[in-house]
Chain A
Amino acid sequence: MNYAEYVIPAYIVVFGSVAAFTAVLVARGRRLGRGVPDEDKPWT
């Protein structure tokens, strides 16, 4: 593959950033969710 030095970093940046954002989101959601019973959450 030519231009691999640009193509591969582009994919790493995109999927790495989305994965990191998702991991923080899930961890924070779980931490906040512990303080609220499921019955009180409008989406459950």
Chain B
Amino acid sequence: MVKAVETGGTHNDNATGTRATRVIGVLALVGVPLVLLLGLVTSPEDVEMGDSVRIMYVHVPSAWLAYLAFGVTAVCSALYLWPRTRSLTLDRFAGASAEIGVLFTGLALATGMLWGRPTWGVFWTWDARLTSTALLFLLFLGYLAIRRLPALPEQRAKRAAIAGLIAFIDVPIVHLSVEWWRSLHQDATVARRDLDAQLDGAMLFTLFLSLTVFTLIYVWLLLHRQRQLWLEDHAGALSLDQAIAARHAEASPAVPPPAEVLQP
């Protein structure tokens, strides 16, 4: 709903939305019940893991989104550090993507623990995959903390870009940890070097549907959060301008002091 307000101009209740985000949002909203139906009801149970395999349809997409989100953060950070492409828009995309990445890394850890208990008998073990994923979560929490340190936008962006690139080094370590070290976690089932997914057809379809829906959710969240960060920066710049104007007004009062005060 669009309405006029006293401050001038038009203001939209859907402050960070556009036609594109609405289309993406509707597609994601249609996809979520399908994922629930296929993931919880119609997809077959696993011969060895039973119905606990249904956790795969939320665990694997969460981990995929963590990789994707931190990948976007790393690319935007690298582009920000390159003088020719330096732009605060890239910094905002990097920050927004990292926040979403932290959310989905936390969800990958939580769902992994819930899947680990019936499969391995424990919620947590200091396995290479689990430990490197927990480290990834902490590294990007540190990245978000760096973004909150008080600084000029350009200083903040430069610090964050360097931190984001350093933190991203852990992503390939997480992915390859099951090959580099003896791990309780199973090897890659879908993203294999021989491109031969080790999954039943109905399971594979459900997993790809879930990956698609989660990716749509990520794109929707990323666009909205990036625009929200622009609004935060805009509000910060406005309040800074107002504070500077107030200080100028204090330093040079418009009304001159009375004549007797000026006389010796």
Picked from B52, B62, B232, the residue with its CB within 8 Å of the CB of A7 is B52
Whether A36 pairs with B231 at a CB distance below 8 angstroms is yes
Picked from A10, A21, A33, the residue with its CB within 8 Å of the CB of B15 is A33
Number of A-B contacts (CB under 8 A): 118
- How many residues on the B side are at the interface (Cβ–Cβ under 8 A)? 47
Whether A3 pairs with B50 at a CB distance below 8 angstroms is yes
Enumerate chain B residues within 8 angstroms of A41, measured Cβ to Cβ: 15, 227, 230-231
Whether A21 pairs with B10 at a CB distance below 8 angstroms is no
What sequence of 0s and 1s flags, for each residue 1-35 of chain A, a beta carbon within 8 Å of any chain B beta carbon? Answer: 11110110111011101100110011011101111
Enumerate chain A residues within 8 angstroms of B231, measured Cβ to Cβ: 29, 32-33, 35-36, 41
Whether A39 pairs with B9 at a CB distance below 8 angstroms is yes
Whether A29 pairs with B227 at a CB distance below 8 angstroms is yes
Query: In whole Å, how far is A36's beta carbon from the nearest beta carbon of chain B?
Result: 6
Whether B103 pairs with A10 at a CB distance below 8 angstroms is no
Interface segment out of the listed B72-80, B109-117, B163-171, B253-261: B109-117
Whether A14 pairs with B9 at a CB distance below 8 angstroms is no
Give bound CA distance, A7 to B50, whole Å: 11
Q: A38-B12, A44-B18 are in contact. Are A6 and B58 (CB under 8 A)?
A: no
Would you call B59 an interface residue if the criterion is a C-beta within 8 Å of the partner chain's C-beta atoms? yes
- Name the residue of chain A whose CB is nearest to the CB of B21: A43
- How many residues on the A side are at the interface (Cβ–Cβ under 8 A)? 34
Whether B235 pairs with A35 at a CB distance below 8 angstroms is yes
Interface segment out of the listed B132-140, B177-185, B217-225: B217-225
- Listed from nearest, the 10 A-B pairs whose CB atoms lie closest are A33-B15, A37-B9, A32-B231, A3-B52, A29-B16, A14-B58, A10-B114, A10-B111, A10-B55, A6-B114
Q: Tell me the B residues contacting A by CB distance below 8 Å.
A: 2, 5, 7-16, 18, 32, 36, 39-40, 45, 50-52, 54-55, 58-59, 62, 103, 106-107, 110-111, 114-115, 117-118, 217, 221, 224-225, 227-228, 230-232, 234-235, 238
A-B contact pairs, 27 of them (CB 8 A): A2-B45, A4-B51, A6-B55, A7-B54, A7-B114, A10-B59, A10-B114, A11-B40, A11-B58, A13-B110, A13-B111, A13-B114, A14-B62, A21-B103, A25-B228, A26-B224, A29-B15, A29-B228, A30-B15, A33-B231, A34-B5, A37-B10, A37-B11, A41-B15, A43-B18, A43-B227, A44-B12
Apart from A10-B59, A37-B8, A38-B10: 13 A-B pairs, beta carbons within 8 A: A1-B51, A6-B55, A6-B115, A10-B110, A13-B107, A14-B58, A17-B107, A21-B103, A30-B15, A32-B228, A32-B232, A35-B7, A35-B235
